[in-house]
Amino acid sequence: MQRLIAGFLLLVFAGTASAQDIPDEARRQITEAVGGPYVVFRDKVQEDLKLSTEQKEKVGEKLQERVQDAMAFFQTLEGVGPEEREKELGGYRRKARADLAAFLKETLKDDQLKRLRQL
């Protein structure tokens, strides 16, 4: 958890300007922290899904939004005890997954959504 927070904070201080600038390691960490459909942010998954250029741009914009949201959330966990942290993280995961699921339903084609669920 601390490693994830450090990774997000590193992105803030590094002045990340675009989704392409977000390292794959940070993408992997957010996927591990939130799970589920967040694998769509990994380059290999986007290749597997055969995303169009427009879809990649939309997913990249969503990644930036999600990273900023996650950074803000993890900053609120500083100084919070382990039990409360897990409770808060569980709520954040549900909210983040629902938000991403709605976005993916609008952005991906049916066959891409089906394949994403298989990954």
Report the domain count for the chain: 1
Q: For residue range 88-114, list pLDDT tens digits in order.
A: 988 998 998 899 999 999 999 999 999
Q: DSSP per residue over the chain, as a string?
A: -HHHHHHHHHHHHHT--SGGGS-HHHHHHHHHHH-GGGGGGSHHHHHHHT--HHHHHHHHHHHHHHHHHHHHHHHHTTT--HHHHHHHHHHHHHHHHHHHHHHHHHHS-HHHHHHHHH-
Q: For residue range 31-61, list pLDDT tens digits in order.
A: 777 777 888 988 899 999 999 999 999 999 9
Rounded (5°) CA angle 91-94-98: 145
Q: For residue range 60-75, list pLDDT tens digits in order.
A: 999 888 888 888 888 8
Show the domain range for 28.
Answer: 2-118
Q: How much of the chain exceeds pLDDT 70, in percent?
A: 78
In this predicted structure, what is the pLDDT of residue 13? 39
Q: Does pLDDT of 15 surpass 90?
A: no
